[in-house]
Amino acid sequence: MKLALIGYGKMGRTIEKIALSRGHEIVSIIDVDNQNDFTSEAFKSADVAIEFTMPTVAIQNYRKAFEVHVPVVSGTTGWLEHLPEIKNACENGATFFYASNFSLGVNIFFAVNKYLAKIMKGFPSYQVKIEETHHIHKLDAPSGTAITLAEDIIKTIGRKNKWTGNLDAKDDEIEIKSIREGEIPGIHTVIYESDVDTIKITHDAKSREGFALGAVIAAEFTCGKKGFLTMQDMLKF
């Protein structure tokens, strides 16, 4: 498959390595210094573009790729206020795959989180909160993964209406505590606490390889498809 990379930072470089090891060709790499390359023949020849950049620029990149009819797989977090525009573009011919976290392990963790929230619906004596820890370079907080975890709990548990990054959460809110420390790739913990005990589930990424492998597999899945795609479409659990 011919791949384009939009964003050649920590994720872009890890994705390049994994894509090459799976026999794919990188036909174009776009970063801050060559943003006009979206109209190049090389970029337009890509079967799929994989985008990992920054919350503030992601939406412009999606628009530019859609203009030249290149499908996009993106893992950039912190841009979801624009989701209706992207879904609308997908209803009108664009192809876009988004995941707040592409790692298989995190997606198993998402399933466990939903199952646990279903059980905890019947146990209101437990308070729920989320903690996420990432490297000091991360621009957004809370992490996209923590927001997905919180939204899945809200849909299921029946006693929470929204999440908050404030540490004085109201009764109907889920507190998300964000910690930035060293070079940590990503740790997410969901914590249920009663007067007598604590239940915790944690996903701890050892490196960025799991995120990058998931993004390349998502690009393979996206190739030849149309519309708005997610990990649920790909993993079927």
Ligand X SMILES: O=C(O)C1=N[C@H](C(=O)O)C[C@H](O)C1
Give the DSSP letter of residue 52.
-
Q: Which position among 24, 64, 129, 134 bears the catalytic label? A: 134
Q: Which two tokens stand for residue 233?
A: 């479409």
As to burial, measured by CB atoms within 10 angstroms (0-12 exposed, 13-18 middle, 19+ buried), residue 229 is: buried
Residue 64 CA, distance from chain mean position: 20
Is the bond leading into 142 cis (omega within 30 degrees of zero)?
A: yes
155 contacts: CB under 8 Å, gap ≥ 6: none
Residue 63 found at the interface with ligand NAI (CB under 6 A): no
Considering CB distances under 5 to 8 angstroms, the limit depending on partner class, which of ligand X, ligand NAI, none binds residue 102?
A: ligand NAI
User: Taking each helix axis from N to C terminus, what angle separates 144-157 and 104-120, rounded to the nearest 10 degrees?
Assistant: 30
C-beta of 95: minimal distance to ligand NAI in Å?
A: 17
The residues that touch ligand X, with contacts defined as CB under 6 A, are 77, 100-101, 134, 138, 143-145, 186, 211
Chain position carrying tokens 């914590």: 191
Annotated active-site residue 138? The verdict is yes
Q: Which stretch binds ligand NAI (CB under 6 A): 1-9, 150-158, 159-167, 221-229?
A: 1-9
Name which of 135 and 159 has its Cβ closer to ligand NAI: 135
Name which of 97 and 126 has its Cβ closer to ligand NAI: 97
Name which of 137 and 236 has its Cβ closer to ligand X: 137
Annotated active-site residue 134? The verdict is yes
Considering CB distances under 5 to 8 angstroms, the limit depending on partner class, which of ligand NAI, ligand X, none binds residue 28?
A: none
Chain position carrying tokens 């507190």: 175
Q: Is 137 left (phi over 0), alpha (psi -120 to 50) or beta?
A: alpha
Considering CB distances under 5 to 8 angstroms, the limit depending on partner class, which of ligand X, ligand NAI, none binds residue 134?
A: ligand X
Residues with a catalytic annotation lie at 134, 138
Task: List contacts with ligand NAI (CB under 6 A).
Answer: 6-12, 30-32, 35, 52-55, 57, 61, 75-78, 99-102, 211
